[in-house]
């Protein structure tokens, strides 16, 4: 799984003002991040607003991403939710041609036990035709995957990594200390990328890399000094990205950069307020 070391970018799904998918902007975004040096694409993750896309739209977005990428970098596909049976069926029905790995967020809202999380992921990994990466983000799922749960799942032959967005470095260290040698510990927090790499992590699945692929190439592949200075340069922008929810901030930033034509998001999210948009525009010009 060397393909998923370094920087993966959690691609946004650009929309027109009428909320239809803007495939021209998607092509421009993919060219931007690939030419900027990202190591792989993550398509239809939570940052891609997969929860508000129809099944037909998901197929269209995946096909477009594969076509526009044209094999330049590997592709990881997001399929996640809180209905295990439905996800098993979705995985079975999905065409994984051109897809190298599957990313699946821990079940949200239900707040399952650790045993339930293990059973959930085991069911998905058993049917996935490609290796699977776990995703722990308790700030949104309201259910933390413990290090013991991650380590137990790490021994499943089809589970190859964990995107860790708990923000808990001690928990990350517990995983790193005992995980299989070839298991991927990936940061789910942009600013914690280098600290997680310093304890044995392999890189990041990043939101801000949509806008700053070259900077994240430095963060994941550059010297300690260069990486640190680059992270410091993104502190102000990172604080703005999540004030009104994700991907509200990153879409607004991409709009100001001229990479996408509209910063529209789908309900229940709202596009960036004028106040936030002004702050993001100013930070981008600094």
Tens of pLDDT, residue by residue over 82-123, are: 999 999 999 999 999 999 999 999 999 999 999 999 999 999
Q: Which of 135, 217, 251, 271 is catalytic?
A: 135
Helix (H) or strand (E) holding 106: none
Contact 140, 80 (CB under 8 A): no
Q: What is the pLDDT of residue 2?
A: 81
3-state helix, strand, coil in the chain (%, to 5): 50, 15, 35
Domains observed in the chain: 2-222 (3.20.20.70)
Contact 256, 238 (CB under 8 A): no
Q: What is the pLDDT along the chain (286 residues), one digit of tens a residue?
A: 689 999 999 999 999 999 999 999 999 999 999 999 999 999 999 999 999 999 999 999 999 999 999 999 999 999 999 999 999 999 999 999 999 999 999 999 999 999 999 999 999 999 999 999 999 999 999 999 999 999 999 999 999 999 999 999 999 999 999 999 999 999 999 999 999 999 999 999 999 999 999 999 999 999 999 999 999 999 999 999 999 999 999 999 999 999 999 999 999 999 999 999 999 999 999 8
Q: What is the pLDDT of residue 1?
A: 65
92 is catalytic: no
Q: Which of 5, 28, 58, 163 is catalytic?
A: 163
Q: In angstroms, rounded to a whole number, what is the distance separating the alpha carbons of residues 96 and 90?
A: 11
Q: What is the pLDDT of residue 282?
A: 98
Backbone angles phi, psi at 13, to 5 degrees: -110, 105
163 is catalytic: yes
CB-count burial class (<10 Å; 0-12, 13-18, 19+) for 123: middle
* Buried/exposed 89-100: b ≥16 CB within 10 Å, e otherwise: ebbeebebebbb
């Amino acid at each position: 799984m060397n393909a998923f070391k370094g920087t993966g970018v959690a691609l946004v799904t650009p929309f027109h003002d009428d909320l239809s998918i803007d495939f021209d902007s998607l092509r421009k975004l993919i060219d931007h991040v690939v030419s900027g040096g990202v190591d792989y694409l993550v398509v239809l993750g939570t940052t891609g607003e997969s929860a508000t896309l129809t099944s037909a739209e998901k197929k269209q977005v995946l096909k477009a991403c594969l076509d526009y990428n044209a094999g330049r970098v590997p592709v990881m596909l997001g399929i996640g939710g809180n209905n295990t049976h439905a996800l098993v069926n979705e995985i079975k029905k999905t065409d994984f041609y051109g897809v190298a790995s599957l990313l699946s967020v821990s079940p949200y809202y239900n707040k399952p036990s650790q045993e339930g999380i293990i059973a959930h992921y085991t069911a998905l990994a058993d049917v996935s035709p490609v290796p699977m990466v776990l995703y722990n983000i308790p700030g949104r799922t309201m259910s933390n995957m413990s290090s013991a749960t991650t380590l137990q799942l790490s021994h499943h032959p089809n589970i190859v990594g964990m995107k860790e967005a708990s923000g808990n470095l001690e928990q990350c260290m517990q995983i790193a200390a005992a995980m299989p040698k070839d298991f991927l510990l990936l940061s789910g927090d942009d600013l914690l990328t280098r600290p997680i790499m310093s304890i044995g992590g392999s890189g990041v699945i990043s939101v801000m890399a949509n806008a700053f692929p070259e900077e994240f190439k430095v963060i994941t592949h550059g010297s300690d000094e260069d990486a640190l200075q680059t992270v410091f340069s993104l502190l102000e922008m990172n604080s703005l990205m999540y004030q009104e929810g994700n991907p509200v901030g990153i879409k607004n930033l991409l709009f100001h950069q001229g990479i996408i034509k509209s910063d529209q998001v789908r309900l229940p999210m709202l596009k960036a307020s004028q106040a936030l948009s002004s702050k993001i525009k100013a930070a981008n010009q600094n």
